[in-house]
């Protein structure tokens, strides 16, 4: 498993090359928009500013330079831009 940098709207976090971006963003405490997690609704759409991803088949319409975070796994450092502010949530203590 390779460690990579995932930059979201200017904020960088550590990621990997084996999980979809949506899962990694959630594990880091971010709350990106999503609905179906299957590439149909397009709610998790964002702009890929830098880097490459492997993207599974999706039915949602994408403009040039856009990806679906639910269907995209990074293969190197990536920079993503959402057209809304992605917020962090406080992580709950594991033993509560």
What is the CATH classification number for the domain harbouring 32?
3.10.20.30
Question: Is residue 17 situated within a structural domain?
Answer: yes
Question: Is residue 10 situated within a structural domain?
Answer: yes
Question: Is residue 54 situated within a structural domain?
Answer: yes
pLDDT of residue 1: 64
pTM over 0.85: yes
pLDDT digits (tens, 9 = 90+) for 61-78: 999 999 999 999 999 999
Mean pLDDT of 13-21: 97
* 57-67 exposure pattern, b = at least 16 Cβ within 10 A, e = fewer: ebebeeeeeeb
pLDDT category at 58 given cuts 50, 70, 90 is confident
Question: Is residue 32 situated within a structural domain?
Answer: yes
Count of alpha carbons within 13 Å of 89, Cβ hemisphere only?
A: 10
- Please say if the pLDDT value at position 59 is more than 50: yes
Question: Is residue 93 situated within a structural domain?
Answer: no
């Amino acid at each position: 498993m390779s460690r990579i940098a995932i930059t979201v709207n200017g904020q960088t976090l550590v990621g990997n090359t084996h999980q979809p971006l949506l899962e990694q963003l959630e594990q880091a405490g971010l709350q990106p928009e999503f609905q179906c997690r299957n590439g149909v609704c397009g709610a998790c759409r964002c702009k890929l500013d830098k880097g490459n991803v492997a993207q599974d088949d999706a039915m949602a319409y994408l403009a040039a330079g856009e990806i679906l975070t639910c269907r995209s796994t990074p293969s190197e450092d990536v920079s993503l831009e959402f057209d809304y502010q992605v917020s962090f949530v406080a992580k709950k203590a594991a033993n509560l």
